[in-house]
C-alpha cells in the first residue's frame, strides 16, 4: 500500500508557505495562484500553523471580518496535525477522519517535506483498490 512519501513523489514536495504576519488576503491570493486549499505558516524555518480556505470561511466571512486587515496569525490553526512519510494512505485517511482535518503536513526529522490533502489520499486509495481488482481479475481469468 502506498505511503505519504509515495503520494509526495507523485504530486511533488513543494511546500507553499506564508508568514503569520501576512494578511489573510495575501494568503488567499497565494492559495488561488498556486491552486491549493491551504498554506503552512512558518516563522523562519519553524512551522507555527496552517491556514486553509476553511479557516477563512469560518473565521473571516462568518464573523464579518476583513481579510485585508486581518493577519494570518489571528485565524490560522495552531495545532497542526502531521504525519510521518512512512504512514500508509489508509492510516492517513484515519487521521483525517478522526482529527477532522483536510490537509496533513508530512514531517520527517522535524522538517516539513510536503503536504497531502484529503483529495490526494482518496485518489491514492482508489488507485490501490483498482490495482487490487485488476490483479484479482487477472488471477480469475488465468484459472479458467
**pLDDT tens digits, 40-62:** 999 999 999 999 999 999 999 88
8-state DSSP, 79: S
Query: 4-143 has which CATH code?
Result: 3.10.580.10
For 105, the 3-state DSSP assignment is: strand
Closest to 29 measured CA to CA, from 39, 21, 40: 39
Q: Where are the domains of the chain?
A: 4-143
pTM of the model: 0.88
Asked if 20 and 71 count as a contact pair (C-beta separation under 8 A), the reply is yes
pLDDT digits (tens, 9 = 90+) for 85-134: 999 999 999 999 999 999 999 999 999 999 999 999 999 999 889 988 99
Amino acid at each position: 500500500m502506498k505511503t505519504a512519501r509515495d503520494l509526495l513523489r507523485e504530486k511533488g514536495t513543494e511546500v507553499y508557505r506564508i508568514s503569520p504576519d501576512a494578511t489573510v488576503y495575501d494568503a488567499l491570493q497565494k492559495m488561488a495562484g498556486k491552486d491549493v486549499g491551504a498554506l503552512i505558516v512558518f516563522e523562519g524555518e519553524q512551522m507555527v500553523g496552517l491556514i486553509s480556505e476553511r479557516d477563512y470561511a469560518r473565521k473571516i466571512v462568518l464573523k464579518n471580518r476583513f481579510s485585508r486587515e486581518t493577519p494570518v496569525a489571528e485565524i490560522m490553526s495552531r495545532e497542526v496535525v502531521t504525519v510521518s512519510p512512512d504512514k500508509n494512505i489508509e492510516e492517513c485517511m484515519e487521521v483525517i477522519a478522526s482529527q477532522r482535518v483536510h490537509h496533513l503536513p508530512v514531517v520527517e526529522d522535524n522538517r516539513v517535506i510536503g503536504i497531502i490533502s484529503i483529495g490526494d489520499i482518496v485518489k491514492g486509495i482508489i488507485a490501490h483498490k483498482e490495482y487490487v481488482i485488476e490483479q484479482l481479475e487477472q488471477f480469475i481469468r488465468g484459472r479458467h
